[in-house]
A and B are shown apart, each in its own frame.
Chain A
Amino acid sequence: MINEIGAFALVLALVLSLAQVGFSVAGRWRRSAVLAGAGAGAGLAAFGGVAIAFAALMHAFVTSDFSVANVAANSHTEKPMLYKVAGAWGSHEGSMLLWCLALTGFGAAVAGFRRGLPVGLKTVTVATQGALGTVFLAYTVLASNPFERLARIPIEGRSLNPLLQDPALAFHPPFLYAGYVGMSVVFSLAVAALVEGRADAAWARWVRPWTLMAWSLLTVGITLGAFWAYYELGWGGWWFWDPVENASFMPWLIATALLHSAIVTEKRGALAGWTVFLALAAFTFSMLGAFLVRSGVLTSVHAFAVDPTRGVLLLMILGVTAGAGFTLFAWRAPALSPGGVFAPVSRESALVLNNILLAAATVTVLLGTLYPLIREAATGEAISVGPPFFNLTFTPLMAALLILLPAGPLLAWKRGDALGVAQRLWVAALIAVACGLLAFAVVSPRKAMASAGLAMGAWLIIGALVELAERTRAFRGSRAETWRRLTGLPRGAWGMTFAHLGLGVFVLGACFETAWKAEAAETLAIGQTLNVGAYELTLDRIQGVDGPNYDAERATITARRDGALVCTPRPERRFYPTGGQTTSEVAICTQGASHLYVVLGERRPGEVWLVRAYWNPWALLIFLGPAIMALGGLISISDRRLRLAVGRRAVAE
Chain B
Amino acid sequence: MKKLLVLLAAVFCMAAASDPSERLPDPGQEARARAIFAEVRCLVCQNESIDDSSAELAADLRLLVRDQIRSGKSDDQVRTYLTDRYGEFVLLKPAFSWGNAVLWGAPFVVVILGVLLLLRNLRTPRPYAELSEAEAARLAALADKEQT
By a beta-carbon cutoff of 8 Å, the part of chain A in contact with chain B is 233, 235, 237, 240, 242-243, 298-301, 303, 338, 341-344, 349, 352-353, 355-357, 359-361, 363-364, 367-368, 371, 375, 379, 381-389, 392-394, 397, 442-445, 516-523, 531-534, 604, 610, 612, 614-615, 617
Contact = CB atoms under 8 A, between A and B. Distances in A.
A404 to B, nearest CB: 12
Contact of A386 (B93, B100, B118): B93
Contacts of A341: 125-126
Most chain B beta carbons < 10 A, residue from A233, A300, A520:
A520
A356 B118 contact: yes
Contact of B100 (A383, A387, A614): A383
A298 B89 CA distance: 14
A343 B20 contact: no
Given A240-B47, A521-B16, A445 B107 contact: no
B9 interface: yes
7 contacts: A356-B114, A360-B108, A371-B94, A384-B88, A518-B11, A519-B17, A534-B10
Contacts of A382: 87-89
Contacts of B21: 523, 604
B47 A300 contact: yes
B48 interface: yes
Nearest to B115: A356
Contacts of B10: 518, 520, 531-534, 615
B46 interface: yes
B9 A353 contact: no
Most buried by A among B10, B41, B125: B10
Interface string B1-43: 1011111111111101111110000000000000000110100
B111 interface: yes
A36 B24 CA distance: 73
Given A361-B107, A364-B107, A519 B89 contact: no
B52 interface: yes
B11 A516 contact: yes
Interface residues of B, number: 53
Interface string B72-110: 000000000000000111111111000110111011101
Given A344-B122, A353-B118, A443 B107 contact: no
B148 to A, nearest CB: 19
A533 B46 CA distance: 31
Q: Which of B18, B92, B108 is packed against the most chain A CB atoms within 10 Å?
A: B92
Contacts of B11: 444-445, 516-518
Nearest to B103: A371
Most buried by B among A381, A384, A389, A604: A384
Contacts of A363: 106-107, 110
B122 A371 contact: no
Given A381-B88, A382-B89, A443 B20 contact: no
Contact of A360 (B94, B111, B118): B111
A301 B47 contact: yes
Nearest to B6: A534
Given A301-B48, A442-B5, A534-B7, 19 more contacts: A240-B52, A243-B47, A356-B118, A360-B107, A367-B106, A375-B99, A383-B88, A384-B94, A385-B103, A386-B39, A386-B41, A389-B93, A397-B107, A444-B9, A531-B10, A531-B13, A533-B10, A610-B19, A612-B17
Interface of B is mostly: helix
Contacts of A357: 111
A-B interface, 9 closest residue pairs, ranked by CB to CB distance from nearest: A386-B92, A519-B17, A356-B114, A388-B93, A360-B110, A533-B10, A382-B89, A364-B107, A518-B10
A300 B115 CA distance: 35
A523 B19 CA distance: 8
Contacts of B41: 384, 386
Given A383-B100, A386-B39, A393 B5 contact: no
A199 to B, nearest CB: 17
A393 B107 contact: yes
B141 to A, nearest CB: 14
Contacts of A303: 46
Contacts of A355: 114
A385 B13 contact: no
B111 A356 contact: yes
Given A356-B110, A356-B115, A522 B92 contact: no
A442 B1 contact: yes
Given A356-B114, A364-B106, A388 B87 contact: no
Specify which of B18, B38, B88, B103 lies most central, judged by the most chain A CB atoms within 10 Å of its CB: B103
A443 B8 contact: yes
Contacts of A523: 20-21
A440 to B, nearest CB: 12
User: Of residues A233, A301, A519, which shows the largest number of chain B Cβ atoms within 10 Å of its Cβ?
Assistant: A519
A518 B13 contact: yes
A381 B90 CA distance: 12
A233 B48 CA distance: 11
A126 B137 CA distance: 35
B13 A371 contact: no
A520 B107 contact: no
A103 to B, nearest CB: 29
Contacts of B89: 382-384
B109 to A, nearest CB: 9
B113 to A, nearest CB: 8
Nearest to A438: B1
A564 B107 CA distance: 51
A398 to B, nearest CB: 11
A522 B38 CA distance: 20
Nearest to B108: A360
A388 B92 contact: yes
Contacts of A360: 107-108, 110-111, 114
Contacts of B90: 384
Contacts of A344: 122
A238 to B, nearest CB: 12
Contacts of B7: 533-534, 615, 617
B81 to A, nearest CB: 17
Contacts of A233: 52
Nearest to B1: A442
A379 B94 CA distance: 15
A531 B7 CA distance: 11
A451 B117 CA distance: 34
Contact of B102 (A343, A367, A533): A367
A514 to B, nearest CB: 12
Contacts of B111: 356-357, 360, 397
